[in-house]
Amino acid sequence: MTQFEEPTFDCRGGVYVYEWPTHSIRILLDHLKDGDSGPTAEIAIRSLVNGTDRHVHRTRLNLLTTTARRTLVSHLGERMPPLKEYWAGLLEYVSECTIQAYRQGEPAVALWDVETSEGLAYRFRPLLHEGAINLIFGAPGSLKSWVALFMGFCVHVPVKGWEAEPGRVLYLDYERDEKINRKRLGAISSGLGVLGERSQFDYRRCYYRLVDDLPEIQRLVLQNDIRFLIVDSAGGASGGDVLDNAEAIRCMLGLRSLGITVLVLAHEPKNAENKSPFGASYWTNYPSSVWHIRAEQEPGSNHADVGLYHHKVNDGRYLKPMGMSFDFDNDADDRLLSVNIKRSDVQNSFSLAKSTTIVARAIHLLRQGDKLTTKDIAEELDEKEASVRTKLAQHKGKIFGKEGETWFLLSERNSAAQR
């Protein structure tokens, strides 16, 4: 066998990539399946001569069949004669290494030797845990796609006032099209006064179930060095079978295999008293962090207030609600020109504040400086007087003080401990 140097090797989410700089060759294997006659894979050979990535050949290869490899070696020898004496060794190498990597899965590690990071890492603070699956769910019209696109904008180009870890973004869209999202991205850019980085934000219109489309998604993530993936939405990604726990698990495991930060958008059930993502329980169980989104917008108004409420978390603690305001600018023909997005306080909206705790709303009310009775507070918050009395009493001396029948805030420092 003709000798050759060890290649560079990368494997992520089921895509195996080998590259020999000296020979200017890259070999990719994906779509692996284990059948009765052994594992097969789609194998793509690329030429890197003169720095140009050029297609040479693609086929499905049984990695254990010598005859199949001989046939491919003969064909490649005709396509690229200068490497004729190397093809048998190259294919033997990638077949053996791929089989070993495919069958062993993730290697076991000595847990005490794993280096941990200080504190919880975020891709976009505080909504997206870094390197994990995150989920935002809400009703139609809650602006969840706008929020996702805005976070993608902040990740692919720095935006003052918003803390995001930079990286290339991929938006998988099961609901709209590229023209709508391009218009929205341009409006966000105009509103912020920040130019987007064209090479750092990718978009893909999707039709197939995520589990069926996963090899192509894996290929895009690997080749384009994607760091943040948006899936819009869970219903489309599941092929419409959002109620099936097995399908939810398959989707989540597929996303987990990518090893990057993922945001999944999901809808919520209609008229449900206890809000949760619509569908199987595993849409909630798998993500590291889940947020519920609500929006308040008067008909005909160009202003919208959005509230995000921490619904579930695996690492860290539950966080306070996060508010955002959207001011849309349209021309005379109602064409979207820009959108100005800012942080806001959900307590400034009665509707959005209703989704926060009694304690948080009482703090906001008493922050105005007036001393109020339990009855006054209950009426302002539209809550039962007994419920308000219980909550205030639980935090008496910590957050709230009482003089006679009236309540007041002890200090702004204590009120920051709102829950």
What pLDDT was estimated at residue 415?
A: 47
Q: Is the pLDDT of residue 419 over 70?
A: no
Q: Is the pLDDT of residue 4 over 50?
A: yes
More confident site: 239 or 153: 153
Q: Report yes or no: 149 and 181 within 8 Å, Cβ to Cβ.
A: yes
**Non-local CB neighbours of 126 within 8 Å, separated by 6+ positions:** 319, 322
Which letter does DSSP use for residue 351 in this model?
A: H
- Please state, in angstroms and rounded to a whole number, the distance separating the CA atoms of residues 43 and 40: 9
Among 270, 263, 207, which Cα is nearest to 239's? 207
pTM for the predicted model, two decimal places: 0.81
Give me the percent of the chain exceeding a pLDDT of 90: 73
- Please state, in angstroms and rounded to a whole number, the distance separating the CA atoms of residues 147 and 135: 12
- Please state, in angstroms and rounded to a whole number, the distance separating the CA atoms of residues 262 and 210: 13
More confident site: 270 or 2: 270
Q: Is the pLDDT of residue 112 over 80?
A: yes
pLDDT digits (tens, 9 = 90+) for 84-95: 999 999 999 999
Q: Is the pLDDT of residue 418 over 60?
A: no
For residue 280, the Cα-to-chain-centroid distance in whole angstroms is: 19
**DSSP bridge pairs for 326:** 304, 341
**DSSP bridge pairs for 322:** 308
What integer is the mean pLDDT of 160-171? 97
- Asked which of 1-5, 186-190, 386-390, 410-414 is least confident by mean pLDDT, the reply is 410-414
Query: Which domains are seen in the chain, by residue range?
Result: 8-104 (no CATH), 122-350 (3.40.50.300), 357-415 (1.10.10.10)
Query: Model confidence at 2, in pLDDT bands (50, 70, 90)?
Result: low
What integer is the mean pLDDT of 370-392? 91
CA distances from 71 to 52, 96, 162, 256, 325 (A): 26, 17, 56, 36, 62
Among 36, 23, 24, which Cα is nearest to 62's? 36
What pLDDT was estimated at residue 5?
A: 84
What integer is the mean pLDDT of 109-137? 92
pLDDT digits (tens, 9 = 90+) for 301-332: 999 999 999 999 998 899 999 999 999 999 98
- Asked which of 5-14, 107-116, 199-208, 250-259 is least confident by mean pLDDT, the reply is 5-14
Query: Model confidence at 79, in pLDDT bands (50, 70, 90)?
Result: very high
What pLDDT was estimated at residue 219?
A: 86
**E-assigned strands of 141-268?**
168-173, 201-205, 226-232, 261-267
CA distances from 144 to 127, 250, 301, 360 (A): 12, 24, 18, 24
- Please state, in angstroms and rounded to a whole number, the distance separating the CA atoms of residues 188 and 259: 28
- Rg over alpha carbons for the chain, rounded to the nearest Å, is 27
Among 262, 220, 219, 260, which Cα is nearest to 237's? 262
For 236, left (φ over 0), alpha (ψ -120 to 50), or beta? alpha
- Look at the block and give the residue holding tokens 């060759």: 25
Q: Is the pLDDT of residue 128 over 60?
A: yes
What pLDDT was estimated at residue 36?
A: 85
What integer is the mean pLDDT of 3-18? 84
Q: What length does the chain have?
A: 419
- Look at the block and give the residue holding tokens 């004729």: 84
Query: Model confidence at 412, in pLDDT bands (50, 70, 90)?
Result: low
What pLDDT was estimated at residue 118?
A: 76
* Residue 275, both tokens: 């809000």
pLDDT digits (tens, 9 = 90+) for 391-405: 999 999 999 999 998
3-state secondary structure at position 294 = strand
What pLDDT was estimated at residue 368?
A: 84
In our burial notation (b when 16+ CB lie closer than 10 A, e otherwise), range 56-94 reads: beeeebbbeeeebbeebbeebbeebeebeebbbebbebb
What integer is the mean pLDDT of 160-176? 96
